Amino acid sequence: MKKLSLLGIAGLFLVLLLAACGGNEETNEAQANSEDTEQENTESAEESAGEEASSEPVEVEFWHAMSGPHEEAIKAFVEQFNNEHENITVKPVNQGSYDDLEQKIMAGAKAKLLPTLAQAVTNVVPEYIGNDFITPLNEFIEDGEIGLSEEELADYVDVFKESSSWDGTYYSLPFSKSTRILFYNTGLLEEHGLEVPETWEDIRTIAETVTGDGVVGMGFENSYESEFQALLKQLGGTYIDEASNEAQFASAEGIEAMTMIKDMIDEGIARTAGEDDYMSNPFGRGDVAMYIGSSAGIPHVASAAEGNIEWSATTLPTLDGEAATTFAGNDIVMFNQAEEAEQKAAWEFIKFLTSPEVTAEWSMKSGYLPVRYSAQETPDYKTFVEENPEYKAGTEQFDAGFFIARVQGGDAVRNIVLEETELILLGEKTVEEGLQSAQDRANETLQK
């Protein structure tokens, strides 16, 4: 806690002295109406001292993994917040990639050198909970003065809000959230008289039709586990059961989902990004007619496609009438090594970052999705989406969205799945062998 000023100490001493002596009629009246007046007066004195302490300047360190234009936007938000809060200074610190950020957070926890706030990919939050260095936010959310009203809390997009809550306890609030959408070459589809795809059957038909002359119909990112998870859910399967902490993706549904992807690649009507690293590059060149990627990749697609192709984006294809898409991205978390005044100041910054106006502006600048329903109704955002219709695809999937299992070891499981699916695509393992190996290895990790 911050040290009290001499005036604050003197004030506290005087209040305690009056409480002990019953020094005036108001104190005596309070004694008559309370079974424990001394405790009440002491608490009141401490509260007054706390209010005086909270008026002192507070610095909040905020670790993040944003770079380029995204980092510039963060800096602008921080500057705006600092200008609006005389006694609070937020200090943003870039920690490199998300992997770098996570490693530094774990190291900082051990060394007792954590910041007050940080970005955190949702599936690493269980690691922070398990290691007991993250602060639950319910105390702040439910506070009658500085918290969120029922209407404000309900305004957070349901799928994002649910992914931030564990057994009714909020350990984070959503910030930079994204989902998978389908990018498509409008000119190529028009040339072949094809409609915008709505189902996986449409995807296959279009891919078969347009593949040729240096064009591949369908594209997947090198790490396409999100598409696998979406297909698995559409088929009624389970990736990881949070309740039992058990991987279950080597099921009949999992085999069918992975086979659908592999068959298209084996037939030459689909490809992965390969040496291009990200599918936005071959798509922007016109080498691929369609691909599934992150909604946060819209600015990258626009840059790659400029002067080459006309394009747009739509929701993920359905399967047998079932819609499903993973929602990913990162949240804001608070750490319990911070002092009380720092945590209260940090909470004000969290509310600011997730306010309708700021999340709408962040979405327009970054390509991430707004995390509040009302943000979509702000005049600037409505105008922006009318002028850039590809941004509608992500928000149109809120009701179909789900989040990946939030379990300790989730990151390790992801790496295992990526390793095994690579072997499947290379033909070194069958779909059944690869998924079973991945599931066995995943469960060894999850049950440790």
Check pLDDT > 90 for residue 372: yes
| Residue type present at position 164 | S
Give the angle subtended at the CA of 250 by the CAs of 317 and 247, to the nearest 5°: 95
Torsion (CA) 409, 410, 415, 418 in degrees, nearest 10: 150
Half-sphere CA count of 4, side-chain side, radius 13 A:
16
Of the pLDDT bands very low, low, confident and very high (cuts 50, 70, 90), residue 8 is: very low
What angle, 0 to 180 degrees and rounded to 10, lies between the N-to-C axes of helices 6-21 and 37-54?
Answer: 170
> Which stretches of 274-378 are DSSP H helices?
280-285, 298-305, 340-353, 356-366
Cα 259 vs. chain centroid, distance in angstroms?
Answer: 29
pLDDT at 405: 80
| Residue type present at position 404 | I
Residue 107: C-alpha distances to residues 103, 125, 131, 133 (Å): 6, 15, 12, 12
Q: Which domains does the chain have, with CATH numbers?
A: 58-177+328-387 (3.40.190.10), 179-327+396-446 (3.40.190.10)
Check pLDDT > 60 for residue 44: no
Check pLDDT > 80 for residue 54: no
How far is it, in rounded angstroms, from Cα 137 to Cα 165?
10
pLDDT at 409: 87
Percent of the chain past pLDDT 70, that is, above it, reads: 88
- Considering only residues 403 and 413, tell me which one the structure prediction assigns the higher pLDDT: 413
Give me the chain's average pLDDT, please.
88
pLDDT at 385: 95
pLDDT at 210: 97
What angle, 0 to 180 degrees and rounded to 10, lies between the N-to-C axes of helices 252-266 and 200-210?
Answer: 20
Over residues 333-337, the mean pLDDT reads 97
